[in-house]
C-alpha cells in the first residue's frame, strides 16, 4: 500500500509539476510585435500633414525655379536659331547671358534642394519622434515586451505586425499637432537677374 500511495502521489506531483512548468513557460514567453515605420510615416495623418506642409512651403520657389529654367532654355534656343545671323558682338553677348542665366539657375536649384533637404530632415525627425512615442504608448497599453522595426526583421508572421493598430491610434489622435502647426516661413525665392 505504501508503494501505491507513493506512486499516486508521485504521479500527481509529476502532473502538477508539468502543468506548472507549462504555465511558467507560457508566462515567460515575451509578447513581441513588429511595426512598419515607413508605412506609418506615409499613411498617418501626421505624416500626410508633414508632406502637405512641405509641398506648400516650397511650391512658390519651385515655380520660380521652373520659370527661370524655361527662360534659360528659351535663350539657348534663340541663340541656336539666330546665332548664325548675329554679329560677333551680339553673339558674344547672347552667349554670356546664356552662361550667366544657366549658372544662376544651377545655383538657385542647388539652394532649393539644400533647403528642401534640411526642412525634410527636420520634419521627418519630428514625425519619427511622434511615431516612436505612439508605438511605445501602444506597446505599454497592450502589454508588449518587445516591438521591432519591420526594416530589421528577416521574417515576420503577420499576427505579430501591429502597424495597422498603431496607425489606427495615430489616426485617432488625428493630425492635431502636425496640421495645426503652420508651415515655417520659407525664404523668399531669389529673383532672376534682369538683363
CB-CB contact of 62 with 112 (8 Å) = yes
Phi-psi region of 10 (alpha: psi -120 to 50; beta: other; left: phi over 0): alpha
Categorize the per-residue pLDDT at 174 as very low, low, confident or very high, splitting at 50, 70 and 90: confident
Report pLDDT digits (tens) over 70-80: 999 999 998 89
Distance between first and last Cα of the chain: 116
Residue 54 confidence (pLDDT): 94
- Which residue would you say has higher pLDDT here, 19 or 31? 31
Res 126: pLDDT = 95
How many CB atoms sit inside 10 A of residue 66's CB? 11
CATH classification (class only), 31-180: alpha beta
pLDDT digits over 49-108, tens only?
999 999 999 999 999 999 999 999 999 998 898 888 888 998 899 899 999 999 999 999
pLDDT tier, 154 (very low <50, low <70, confident <90, very high otherwise)? confident
**Higher pLDDT among residues 18 and 40, named by residue:** 40
Nearest to 51 by CA among 116, 112, 109: 116
The answer to whether residue 1 scores a pLDDT higher than 70 is no
Q: What is the pTM of this model?
A: 0.63
Angle, CA of 54, 57 and 63, to the nearest 5°: 110
Answer with the residue of higher pLDDT: 156 or 25.
Answer: 156
pLDDT for 188 equals 44
Q: Per-domain residue ranges for the chain?
A: 1-29, 31-180
* Rounded-to-integer distance, Cα 19 and Cα 15, Å: 6
| Average pLDDT of the chain to the nearest whole number | 80
Amino acid at each position: 500500500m505504501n508503494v501505491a500511495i507513493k506512486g499516486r502521489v508521485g504521479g500527481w506531483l509529476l502532473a502538477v509539476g508539468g502543468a506548472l512548468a507549462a504555465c511558467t513557460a507560457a508566462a515567460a514567453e515575451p509578447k513581441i510585435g513588429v511595426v512598419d515605420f515607413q508605412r506609418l510615416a506615409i499613411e498617418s495623418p501626421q505624416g500626410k500633414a508633414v508632406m502637405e506642409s512641405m509641398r506648400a512651403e516650397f511650391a512658390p520657389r519651385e515655380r520660380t525655379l521652373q520659370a527661370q529654367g524655361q527662360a534659360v532654355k528659351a535663350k539657348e534656343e534663340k541663340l541656336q536659331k539666330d546665332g548664325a545671323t548675329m554679329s560677333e558682338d551680339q553673339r558674344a553677348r547672347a552667349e554670356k547671358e546664356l552662361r550667366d542665366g544657366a549658372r544662376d539657375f544651377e545655383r538657385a536649384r542647388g539652394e532649393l534642394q539644400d533647403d528642401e533637404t534640411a526642412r525634410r530632415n527636420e520634419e521627418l525627425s519630428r514625425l519619427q519622434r511622434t511615431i516612436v512615442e505612439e508605438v511605445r504608448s501602444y506597446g505599454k497599453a497592450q502589454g508588449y515586451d518587445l516591438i521591432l522595426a519591420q526594416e530589421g526583421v528577416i521574417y515576420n508572421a503577420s499576427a505579430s505586425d501591429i502597424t495597422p493598430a498603431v496607425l489606427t491610434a495615430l489616426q485617432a489622435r488625428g493630425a492635431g499637432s502636425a496640421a495645426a502647426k503652420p508651415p515655417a516661413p520659407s525664404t523668399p525665392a531669389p529673383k532672376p537677374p534682369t538683363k
